[in-house]
Amino acid sequence: MPFYILRRLLLLIPLLCGITLISFTLLKAIPGDPAIIMAGERATPEDIEKIRKHLGAQKGIIEQYTGYIQLLLKGEFGRSYYTQRRVIDDILEKLPNTAALAITAIAIAIPAGILTGFIAGLKQGSFIDRVLSGFAITGLSVPVFWSGLLLMYLLSLQLRLFPPSGTGVKFLILPAITLALPAIGTLSRVTRTMVIEVSSMPFIQTALSKGIKPLRLYGVHIFKNIIIPVITVTGMDFGSYLSGAVLTETIFGWNGMGRFTFEGIMKRDYPVVMGSIITATVIFVVVNLFVDILYHLLDPRVRLGNQER
């Protein structure tokens, strides 16, 4: 297992090289000149050229990329074109906010999604199943910006239960619920499918014939066999949340990675965008590695497979 973890971490190096090369090339190919945006509409060509020289934009793309790689090797992401702050400092400031939002959203989504999916699977074909499946499909289908605005209107502006926007503990509930709704729908659908599939297996029928109590049957025999797909879905959602929920953070004015990345893209602030992409890549790899470790701990078949290798 330690060798496997080390191998996965070493694979992060070529992955980051490929991600930085592709991202850097694509960013430079996007229409729009950050020097013109920074200078404003009334700027003279001389002023724009000075800004371009200051940013190093007059150099060739290969020379710019080489310089950026040298910067990364020093543990730096560069400085924002607009604030002149170190990008890594901004990321370290905003990442905890995104982590708090992601953890709260997952804490809401996991019990709600598993419970509704479990009930729907056990009541397959019933009225309860149709209602819960309808809610799950709605959560998956409704765009985040629409559900976010709707929740803001109902719970904040009408009922005045929560403040509409901002960053901090008291502003956390609305964006967390908005972020959790699609995850609840996904977890519910996956759990329902797995419960129906596992319930039809011979060992479940054998357990029923032996008179095992329903609580033990559902909580041990069925739940243990559906946990792996649930962990997979949860890991993917959590990784995407940590990378930055752009729409949710923008709608609710949450000072996190998603809003930070969005503003960087709109302003053509290349160091900010590149720093955000690299951070997101590392987060995804670490989260997937953690999910693989959970597989190893929870599923004996995975442990046996690793031993055979």
Residue 80: partners with Cβ closer than 8 Å, 6 or more residues away: 87, 90, 264, 269, 271, 272
Residue pLDDT, tens place only, 271-288: 999 999 889 888 888 888
Cβ–Cβ < 8 Å for 281, 27: no
Helical packing angle, 173-199 and 87-122, nearest 10°:
40
- Chain centroid to Cα 230, Å, comes to 16
Does position 2 have pLDDT exceeding 60, yes or no?
yes
Q: What percent of the chain has pLDDT over 70?
A: 94
Does position 299 have pLDDT exceeding 70, yes or no?
no
Residue pLDDT, tens place only, 119-136: 998 888 899 999 999 999
Question: Which of the two residues, 199 and 41, has the higher pLDDT score?
Answer: 199
What average pLDDT does the structure give for the chain?
84
Weakest-pLDDT range from 10-14, 118-122, 175-179, 255-259: 10-14
CA atoms within 13 A on the CB side of 260: 29
Q: Which two tokens stand for residue 201?
A: 């297996």
Weakest-pLDDT range from 19-23, 28-32, 279-283: 28-32
Please tell me the predicted confidence (pLDDT) of residue 97: 92
For residues 294, 296, 297 and 302, what is the CA-based torsion angle, rounded to 10 degrees? 130
Please tell me the predicted confidence (pLDDT) of residue 308: 47
Q: What is the mean pLDDT of residues 218-226?
A: 78
How many C-beta neighbours within 10 Å does residue 36 have? 15
> Which residues on adjacent β-strands are paired with residue 276?
none
Q: What is the mean pLDDT of residues 45-70?
A: 80
3-state secondary structure of 256: coil
Q: What is the mean pLDDT of residues 166-190?
A: 91
Please tell me the predicted confidence (pLDDT) of residue 41: 66
Please tell me the predicted confidence (pLDDT) of residue 260: 92
Does position 309 have pLDDT exceeding 60, yes or no?
no
* The amino acid at 7: R
